[in-house]
């Protein structure tokens, strides 16, 4: 089965449809913070990047640990390296999202 970007986005939209109001609120707040910190010339300074990296790492580890339980099972259901790699890849995705989402917030912190 071939995949398309539109198809993948459509599936993600359906997966998160119940959370759309919350997601929109977070994204709007994030964009507002981004605009503010950019205008103040303090977006993504070194300390902010470091803090967001830690936040992203925390998101990643959290996603890795709770991933199986979100599917009603434990790590005991993992039978192959594929399962670990897929969970790892999904956790990295969550970690990157965490980094990106927290960066405008951490940029508020003074140098």
Partner 1 sequence: MSQKSSNAGPNHGRRKFLQVSGLGLAATAGTGIMTSKALAKVKTNARVVIIGAGAAGLDAANRLSRELDGAQITIIDSRVEHIYQPGLTLVATGLWKASKVMDENARYMPDGIDWIQARVIEFDPETNSVLTDTGQRVAYDYLMVTTGLQVNYSGVEGMSPELIGQMGIGCVYDNPNHATRTWNMIDQFTDVGGVGLFTRPRGPVKCAGAPLKVTMLSEDLLERKGNRDKAQLFYTPPAKGLFSQPEINEFLKEELPSRGISLLWDHPLVGIEPELKRATFETPEGNQTLDYDFIHVVPPMQAPDPLANSPLSWKTGRFAAGGWMEVDQHTLQHPRFQNVFGSGDCVGTPVGKTAASVKAQVPVAVANMVSSIADRELSARYNGYTSCPLVTRKGQALLVEFDYDLKMVPSFPFVNPYEKHWFPWMLKDRMLHAAYNAMLRGRV
Q: Match 């300390």 to its residue by tokens.
A: 47
Site for partner 1 in 12-31 (CB under 8 A): 12-15, 17
Which pair of structure tokens corresponds to residue 34?
């981004």
Sign, Cα dihedral of 96, 98, 103, 104: positive
What is the per-residue binding string for partner 1 in 75-104, x denoting contact by CB under 8 A?
-xxxxx-xx-xxx-----------------
65: contact with partner 1 by CB under 8 A: no
* Rounded-to-integer distance, Cα 61 and Cα 95, Å: 8
- Contacts with partner 1, residue ranges (CB under 8 A): 1, 3-4, 6-7, 10-15, 17, 68, 70-74, 76-80, 82-83, 85-87
């Amino acid at each position: 089965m071939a995949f398309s970007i539109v198809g993948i986005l459509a599936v993600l939209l359906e997966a998160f449809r119940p959370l759309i109001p919350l997601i929109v609120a977070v994204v709007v707040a994030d964009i507002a913070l981004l605009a503010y910190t950019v205008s103040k010339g303090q977006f993504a300074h070194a300390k902010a990047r470091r803090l967001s990296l830690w936040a992203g790492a925390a998101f990643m580890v959290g996603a890795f640990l709770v991933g199986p339980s979100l599917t009603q099972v434990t790590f005991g259901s993992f039978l192959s390296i594929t399962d670990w790699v897929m969970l790892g890849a999904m956790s990295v995705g969550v970690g990157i999202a965490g980094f990106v989402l927290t960066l405008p917030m951490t940029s508020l912190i003074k140098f």
